[in-house]
Structure 1
């Protein structure tokens, strides 16, 4: 049985490896930041991130729902996919982590220029100035574990039962 051709149930062999994880985190600039609301409902917001020294770094206004949730419960999940990148196939990882909310000038001093360079390389100084507002915080997510990952490039064909080549016959 070929995964992706005859079997689409056990996908454990399609997990993202360390090399692919590095490629994905470098190629992508956005993630879904998932958290629990006050009443326990799961919620998520798409955010830009900077991945540095094994942590995800993000920023938001202090009063936003996801910032307030992070202050109540530091357990979050970040979902990163290759959508919108040049990476082939469908790749994703869901990273469980603990978030710390930073308000200190020292963190903002290194973070804003690095984040602005990554997300607005043509005008990093203008973006840095925009970010440097009174109620802005920096979120640091330290991964605990990869909860789920997937790399369809490990499947034959296009990962949807077809693609290039011929379909093997079942034995």
Structure 2
């Protein structure tokens, strides 16, 4: 077997995202792919903005959308988060497995939407709160139970695509 990242990409076990690197990724990124089972039983996913708060991840949606209906049918979901679009070097990703709870309670929605708006629209959170405070809005709480898969290309030699990091 060759050198991982230079000769082959067969054994990636040593390239998992460490705890500190995972925290860095989750802090830097604002979007995830929310993976659920749709009404026909197929795995489906939507890209959503998330908030990490007190050990859970939170997303928001309009009641009745396909991913809300999917969670109602089967609360087992996954979040896939990569460093795409961030300033973090390399290619990093984590796939978290867990369960989701849909919250329709006005107090929970107001609390999460307020935090969500301050995280994602700090220049004018009140405008975002108004936008998100629609009558059919729900918030979905995701409780991670396991890291299903992770990857950190910065832990391999070279650029992870067979070349050197120096460009030579």
What is the number of residues matched between the two proteins? Answer: 167
2:10 aligned residue: 9
Provide, for residues 52-96 of structure 1, a one-character-per-residue CA deviation record: whole Å limited to 9, x for no partner: 112110000001000010011000011000000000000001111
Residue of structure 2 in register with 1:53 after alignment: 54
Cα distance in 2, alignment partners of residues 83 and 39 from structure 1? 30
Contact kept? 2:39, 2:69, Cα under 8 Å: no
Aligned to 2:111: 110
Q: 2 CA distance for matches of 1:148 and 1:120?
A: 30
Q: Which runs of 5+ in 1 are unaligned?
A: none
Secondary structure (helix, strand or coil) at the match of 2:109 reads helix
1:144 aligned residue: 145
Distance 1:81 1:13 in 2: 18
User: TM-score, normalised on structure 1?
Assistant: 0.94
Pairwise CA distance, 1:38:
1.3
User: SS at 1:130's partner residue?
Assistant: helix
Q: Please list every run of 5 or more consecutive structure 2 residues that lacks an aligned counterpart in the other structure.
A: none
What is the Cα deviation at residue 142 of structure 1?
Answer: 0.2
What is the deviation of 1:164? Answer: 2.3
Q: Match for residue 31 of structure 1?
A: 32
CA RMSD of aligned residues (A): 1.3
Partner of 2:93: 92
**In the alignment, is the contact (CA less than 8 A) between 2:34 and 2:78 conserved in 1?**
yes
| Matching residue of 2:164 | 163
Distance 1:165 1:27 in 2: 26
SS at match of 1:19: helix
Q: Secondary structure at the match of 1:140?
A: strand
For 1:63 and 1:164, the matched residues in 2 are separated by 48
Are the counterparts in 1 of residues 26 and 81 from structure 2 also a CA contact under 8 Å? yes
- 3-state SS of paired residue (1:9): coil
